[in-house]
A and B are shown apart, each in its own frame.
Chain A
Amino acid sequence: NAGVTQTPKFQVLKTGQSMTLQCAQDMNHEYMSWYRQDPGMGLRLIHYSVGAGITDQGEVPNGYNVSRSTTEDFPLRLLSAAPSQTSVYFCASSYQPSSGGAETQYFGPGTRLLVL
């Protein structure tokens, strides 16, 4: 299994440009999430999905859109990039064990985005 993959690894945008950060997982996980990580801020949840066709907002959703048309893919769209969106973006997937055990998140390697 490749686990969670993210593309691109690095991206430079100009203010106002739009782009899509790709995320895919091959573990058939129900849950997928997008986080941004800024220095000293830890991981902040942008959007998440509990299954195909279902998405919800996290802590910092403004300026981002998501969709979940398949179990495998969960792209994150920046509609009009702003310098405040300069960050490292992590995608994660997880599942809830039927035994009631802990949900474990698997993170991708991250996308480093710079908005000028």
Chain B
Amino acid sequence: GESVGLHLPTLSVQEGDNSIINCAYSNSASDYFIWYKQESGKGPQFIIDIRSNMDKRQGQRVTVLLNKTVKHLSLQIAATQPGDSAVYFCAEKSGNTPLVFGKGTRLSVIA
């Protein structure tokens, strides 16, 4: 079946450094991909999305890159701050089917 997965379950970065969180997907028919951030004790929050016909999309301090050739998605966070510490999920959407979430990567920011 189709699946969305993550390369690394945990990631530790120094405050001020850039963070890169990776995600692999297998559904080549996905329409778009979404990144969510989940802080401890809270529900996931939308960060940024990217349509499948795009390679890159930038937001405030975040950039998502999509490589359809190798079915890889990444979330880059610039100048990582303590408030960025959370679990990050990628998700993919195809047609009218429900979102499929990956297992998540925990980002820990070291002050």
Interface residues of A (CB under 8 A from B): 4, 33, 35, 40-45, 48, 50, 58, 90, 92, 102-110
Are B93's CB and A42's CB within 8 A?
no
Tally of A-B Cβ pairs under 8 angstroms: 48
Shortest CB-to-CB span from A50 to chain B, Å, is: 7
Given A40-B103, A58-B98, A109-B42, verify A104-B89 contact (CB < 8 Å): no
Are the CB atoms of B103 and A42 closer together than 8 Å?
Answer: yes
**What are 19 A-B pairs with beta-carbon distances under 8 A?**
A4-B43, A40-B103, A43-B44, A43-B89, A43-B101, A45-B98, A50-B96, A102-B32, A102-B34, A102-B51, A103-B93, A104-B34, A104-B49, A105-B46, A106-B46, A107-B44, A109-B42, A109-B43, A110-B42
Q: Which residues of B contact A44 (CB under 8 A)?
A: 101
Cα A104 to Cα B104 in complex, Å, equals 18
Question: How far is A44 from B89 in the complex, measured between Cα atoms in Å?
Answer: 12
Tell me if B45 is interfacial: C-beta within 8 Å of chain A.
yes
Number of B residues with CB within 8 Å of any CB on chain A: 20
Which of A33, A41, A102 meets B93, CB within 8 Å?
A102
A90 near B44 with CB under 8 A, answer yes
A64 to B: closest C-beta gap in Å: 15
The residue in chain B whose Cβ has the minimal distance to the Cβ of A104 is B46
| B44 proximity list for chain A (CB < 8 A) | 43, 90, 105, 107
With a CB–CB cut-off of 8 A, which chain B residues contact A33?
A: 98-99
B89 touches A42 (CB 8 A): yes
Residues of A within 8 A of B96 (CB): 50
* CB neighbours of A104 from chain B (8 A): 34, 46, 49
Residues on A with C-beta less than 8 A from B102 are: 42
Across the two chains, which residue of chain B brings its CB closest to A41? B103
